[in-house]
Amino acid sequence: MDDLEKGILIMFDESGAIDDELKNQAKTYCTDVKQKPSVCRLCIQKLCSSNLVQVQFWCLQTLHELIQTRYSAIPPEEKHAIRTTVFSIACLVVVEDNNNNTPIRVLEAAPAFIKNKLAQVLIALIYYEYPLICSSFFLDFLPHLRKGNVVIDMFCRVLNALDDELISMDYPRTPEEVTVANRVKDAMREQCVSQIVRAWYDILSMYRNSDQHLCITVLDSIRRFISWIDIAFIFNDTFLPFLFDFILVTTTSDHLRAAAVRCLLAIVSKRMESQSKLSLLQTLQITRVFRLLTDDANADLVPDIAALLSGYATEALDCFKRITSEDAKGISMELLNEVLPSVFYAMKNFELDTTTLNIVQFLSGYASTLKTLAPLSEKHILHVGQILEVILVLIRYDPVYRTNLDVMDKIGKEEEDRMTEFRKDLFVLLRTVGRVAPDVTQLFIRNSLASAISRSSDSNVEEVEGALSLLYALGESLSEEAVRNGNGLLSELLFMLLSTKFPCHSNRLVALVYLETVTRYVKLIQDNAQCIPIVLAPFLDERGIHHPNISVSRRASYLFMRVVKLLKVKLVPFIAVILQSLPDTVARFTATNYTTEELSGSEDGSHIFEAIGLLIGMEDVPPEKQSDYLSSLLSPLCQQVEALLRNAKLLSYEETNARIAVIQQIIMAINSLSKGFSERLVTASRPAIGNMFKQTLDVLLQVLVIFPRIEPLQSKVTSFIHRMVDTLGASVLPYLPKAIEQLLAETEPKQMSGFLLLLNQLICKFNILVRDILEEIFPSVADRIFSIIPREGLPSGLDAATEEIRELQELQRTLYTFLHVIATHDLSTVFISPKCKAYLDPVMQLLFYSSCNHKDILLRKTCVQIFIRLIKDWCAQPYGEKVPGFRSFVIETFATNCCLYSVLDRSFDFRDANTLVLFGEIVVAQKVMYDKFGDDFLVHFISKGFSVAHCPPEMAEQYRQKLQGSDIKALKSFYQSLIENLRLQQNGSLVFR
């Protein structure tokens, strides 16, 4: 071996015996060889002489790359040598310069990857040379097929590679590739397609009994070519019976029969004019393959047969839609009626994998077509029933996964996710059918449910779950009015559901879909007071909240909360009964062993407290009972918190964590409970209720004292304060200083976002009533934030792709919102109060820098809006100002830098919608500055700003006129035009429009 062969062997070595450094050296060496001018000749020589498949592959791969990337640079004599050599290898042709004067035997012992790479090289040559240079490539190849299966196999590989690499539109193609593909196809149609088809027929005839694998390869080539050659070459009295003979003769292997079936599918699917397609479908006599579905010996063939039948049905349906002739429509429908029973049979009795989706899509199209045929014929109603049976069969889980799905282990989770995705198209089909034939659909679901109910054992878990899922999904095809008004059959279905306890109700999937279905249809009986106890029962007994599976119990709590929201006042007479059934559930939620790991996700179990709050928080509940109900819930919870806080500092680490987990649960429970109480009720009509929540707030604030700097606890307490602001209104104000003081004391700088959100809520809710609180805490807030956020901004791009930077970006966004809320709620005096004025300059510098330079356009807009409000608040007409120096800062610094220079920068993109919004605020700022400062602003802006930007005097004068006018839209339009022209001037191409 020479160095190149050694390098190739080392580079491709997969034994693990060669270290990476040596492999990299070999790779570098081989790459360097590729760059040499003599690489073509070298590859040709190695192909003719080397028996090492690694070397052969490297040479073919190198030639392929050279042709694809440097074809025009290859000398003509080397192109001829490549063409001659690879063609000779493919056809076992004698090469003139071969010393032994014998064919190059690369192919005879070559593995498939060598043959495939050789085919790719030939196609790369065809891309550039056929038919202009190498005009007879395919005709030259055909005579060599008599050499036997090696050359025939290679010929088929070339044809298949031609499809893969160039012709097939299953892959993305560039316009150039499409043009080349059309050139190649046109030349082949004119020159050699008929000869190739004849060769296919001869090969199939010769090898059908001796080499079925070769026949499969040939049929695969035929399938690919059918889409673009003249269909008459295949769809004729010679070739078509030949294909059916392959399919129907039982002695043929299933793989060969399947390949022939795929050819038939290609014939059926070929694009053509609708009337011609209809004639083709009639002539095909597809009924000949129906029996293959019912023959047990053909199980492996069924997926391809099903694909053929569904493709046939799809084309027949397409003909029905496109053809206007009533006679032709009748023929199309007859063909459909003929093939549909076999399609339904295949769907119900076999696993069809990828074919299933295509059939479901066809059935959706068929069902949609039935909408235009009302009233439906008896045959069509029968088909609707068959479609529903197919849906029911396909949506059922495999019993083999029953245990996995019930305990929801990894396998169960994967299977549920897979089925959820798989069911989407089936439920779309169900909704379509439900709209086409609502009575038939509802009756089918009723019978399916009745059949599932009639079984006494729990062995029909999948059947029950499937029937319930159908009933649930049906609801999406019904309008709100239809569900609300209901009909006899729907009402019957719901009562059947409510009155049934399935033997398999302990199964997680059955329990969940049962509760979901009841919730969806509860509107049907919301006005029937006698039915309410029946509706409540499944939520409150072992089918729901008391279900042994915790995920079912938690979901039941959430769904029960939704039912309470819907029924509301109708549940008042049942409150006592409901509460009597829930003490164990309430106690379990705040139990020591009810850990947060069990409660991960949005359904954390707290919804039962929200449901209780909604029930007892209604004004229809008598005041005394309401107080008793709330006290019976809040008092034990508060006492539990107080007990958990006692001696907390003496606990071990594990005991502390356990107590913290329970306190978190209690705070979540109280928070959820409070959602049912309105501000008007707790402050105006029933202040005693408000006092209970105030006392609760007092207790929960102690949590921050006993367990400082525990972020999850702090977050829960903050959330409760948010809740109390909405619930107690202004009556919460006396509690806020203490609450805010404790929260601020325990908040780390990077955790300030949540604290600022609370302040924003308080400002928006109470406006100037919180001025004193803000003046007290603003210095501490500013200190902490400015200690971690640089005034010149945060990193962007790749440097910002860290969790720490993302947290700081979130804090920065919240800070700007906080400053904006202060400025726009009559609280700008906070910035200049004695306690806060030391931070005025840092705040102004931050706002100024961000208004000009921040990457986030919306944050820049926020900063400009803050300046607009401060100018209005602090700068009275004509020359008064509350803040010394602010007026000159605005005129001399903010105006020119933010309103002119930052806009002139080409990063300011007028094509961006958010940027245009920012630009509008900048124009408003100029108008406000002119209104407040008059000519002082205008003179400085024009003489300093415009002069630096080299704005022509006439344009500056037009700007003055627009600014002095009252049309803000005209000012904005002119100013944008002015900026764009100044940008052009900066490029030396001054053009004013």
DSSP H or E segment with residue 538: helix 532-540
75, with CB counted inside 10 A (0-12, 13-18, 19+), is exposed
- Give me the pLDDT at residue 594, please: 54
Please list, in sequence order, all residues whose beta carbon lies within 8 angstroms of the beta carbon of residue 681, skipping any fewer than 6 positions away: 617, 619, 689
Residue closest to 512 by CA, chosen among 537, 542, 533, 543: 543
pLDDT at 113 over 70: yes
Q: What is the mean pLDDT of residues 950-958?
A: 90
Give which of 146, 296, 147, 233 is closest to 242, Cα–Cα. Answer: 233
On average, the pLDDT of the chain sits at 89
C-alpha 426/C-alpha 634 separation (Å) is 48
Q: Please tell me whether the peptide bond between 878 and the residue prior to it is cis, using omega within 30 degrees of 0.
A: yes
Dihedral pair phi/psi, residue 103, rounded to 5°: -60, 150
- Please say if the pLDDT value at position 96 is more than 90: no
Question: Residue 744: pLDDT above 80?
Answer: yes
Question: What is the C-alpha separation between 219 and 217, in angstroms, rounded?
Answer: 5
Is the Cβ–Cβ distance between 669 and 606 less than 8 Å? yes
Q: Are 181 and 166 in contact (CB under 8 A)?
A: yes
How many Cβ atoms sit within 10 Å of the Cβ of residue 8?
25
Q: Per residue in 26-67, pLDDT tens?
A: 999 999 999 999 899 999 998 888 889 999 999 999 999 999
Give dist(CA 687, CA 869) in Å, integer.
38
Q: What pLDDT, on a 0 to 100 scale, did the predictor assign at position 456? A: 60
CA distance 404 to 732: 50
pLDDT tens figures, 476-486: 877 666 666 65
Higher pLDDT, 293 or 138: 138
Tokens of 187: 């030349």
CA atoms of 383 and 455, how far apart (whole Å): 27
The pLDDT score that the predictor gives to residue 98 is 47
User: Residue 992: pLDDT band by 50, 70, 90 thresholds?
Assistant: very low
Q: Which residues of 198-230 are buried (b: 16+ CB within 10 A; e: fewer)?
A: ebbbebbeebbeebbebbbbbbbbbbbbbbbbe
pLDDT tier at 990, thresholds 50, 70, 90: very low
pLDDT at residue number 945? 87
Task: Give the model's pLDDT for residue 17.
Answer: 83
- Residue 560 has which token pair? 């029960």
pLDDT for the residue 495: 83
Is residue 993 over pLDDT 50? no
What DSSP string runs through 199-218?
HHHHHHHHHTTT-HHHHHHH
CA distance 482 to 879: 67
pLDDT of residue 478: 72
Confidence band for 991, pLDDT divided at 50, 70 and 90 = very low
Residue 501 has pLDDT above 90, yes or no: no
- Return the DSSP state at 825: T
Angle (nearest 5°) at CA 104 between 102 and 109: 125
Neighbour-count burial of 588, counting CB atoms closer than 10 A to its CB (0-12 exposed, 13-18 middle, 19+ buried): middle
Query: What pLDDT digit, counting tens, does each position of 455-472 carry?
Result: 766 678 999 999 999 999
- For residues 130-151, average pLDDT: 93
Scanning 568-682, the segments in alpha helix (DSSP H) are: 575-580, 583-589, 607-616, 623-645, 653-674, 679-680
**Mean pLDDT in residue range 618-631:** 94
Question: What span, in angstroms and rounded, lies between the C-alpha atoms of 518 and 498?
Answer: 8
Give yes or no for residue 687 having a pLDDT over 80: yes
Q: What is the pLDDT averaged over residues 380-393?
A: 95
Q: How many Å from the N-terminal Cα to the C-terminal Cα in the chain?
A: 75
Identify the weakest region by mean pLDDT among 286-290, 370-374, 381-385, 728-732: 370-374
Spatial distance between the Cα atoms of 286 and 301, rounded to a whole number of angstroms: 16
CA 159 to chain centre: 38
Q: Are 442 and 489 in contact (CB under 8 A)?
A: yes
Percent of the chain with pLDDT over 70: 94
Paired residues of 94 in beta bridges: 103
Query: Among candidates 682, 778, 777, which has minimal Cα distance to 730?
Result: 682
Closest C-alpha among 986, 868, 849 to residue 923: 868
Output the six-digit token pair for 380: 């069509």
Provide the 8-state DSSP code for 875.
B
Give the tokens for residue 803.
Answer: 């969790």
Query: Per-residue confidence at 947, pLDDT binned at 50, 70, 90?
Result: confident
Which string of DSSP letters, residue by residue, matches 916-939? HHHHHHHHHHHHHHHHHHTHHHHH
Choice between 95 and 110, residue whose per-residue pLDDT is larger = 110
Per-residue pLDDT band at 800 (split at 50, 70, 90): low
Both tokens of 95, joined, read 């090469």
Question: What is residue 103's three-state secondary structure?
Answer: strand
Arithmetic mean of pLDDT, 163-176? 91
> For residue 410, how many other CB atoms are within 10 A of its CB?
8
- Give the Å distances, CA to CA, from 564 to 526, 580, 613, 614, 632: 11, 16, 10, 7, 20
**For residue 880, pLDDT beyond 70:** no
Q: For residues 142 and 138, what is the distance between their CA atoms, to the nearest angstrom?
A: 6
pLDDT score at 879:
54
Model pLDDT, residue 353: 73
Residue 400 burial class via C-beta count within 10 angstroms: exposed 0-12, middle 13-18, buried 19 and up: exposed
**DSSP β-bridge partners for residue 881:** 875
pLDDT of res. 796: 62
Say if CB 706 and CB 648 are below 8 A apart.
yes
pLDDT, residue 455, reads 72
User: Who has greater pLDDT, 731 or 793?
Assistant: 731
Residue 525 has pLDDT above 90, yes or no: no
Distance CA 166, CA 924 (A): 58
Which tokens sit at 172?
């993305």
The whole-angstrom separation of Cα 56 and Cα 856 is: 56
The sign of the torsion formed by the CA atoms of 76, 77, 82, 87 equals: positive
- pLDDT per residue over 186-242, tens digit each? 999 999 999 999 999 999 999 998 999 999 999 999 999 999 999 999 999 999 999
In contact, 347 and 394? CB cutoff 8 Å: yes
* Crossing angle of helices 112-129 and 76-91, rounded to 10°: 140
Burial 922-938 (b: 16+ CB within 10 A, else e): bbbbbbbbbebbeebbb
- Report d(CA 386, CA 436) in Å as an integer: 14
Cα angle value 326/327/332 (rounded, 5°): 95
Q: Which of 651, 655, 724 shows the shortest CA–CA distance to 692?
A: 724
Peptide bond connecting 375 to the previous residue in cis, omega within 30 degrees of 0:
yes
Q: So what's the pLDDT on residue 863?
A: 96
Structure tokens, 252: 């043929």
801 vs 340 pLDDT, higher one: 340
Beta bridge partners of 889: none
Look at residue 979 and tell me whether its pLDDT is greater than 60: yes
Rounded to whole angstroms, the Cα distance separating 343 from 300 reads 16
**CA within 13 Å, CB half, 861:** 13
Nearest to 265 by CA among 232, 295, 300, 234: 234
In sequence order, what are the beta bridge partners of 113? none
| Distances, alpha carbon 851 to alpha carbons 602, 683, 868, 901, in Å | 38, 43, 12, 12
CA distance 923 to 861: 11
Residue 649: is its pLDDT beyond 90?
Answer: no
Please report where in the chains the tokens 């409660």 appear, as a residue.
599
pLDDT at 374 over 90: no
Share of residues in the chain with pLDDT > 90 (%)? 66
Does the pTM surpass 0.75? The reply is yes
Longest dimension (CA), the chain: 112
Rounded-to-integer distance, Cα 494 and Cα 471, Å = 9
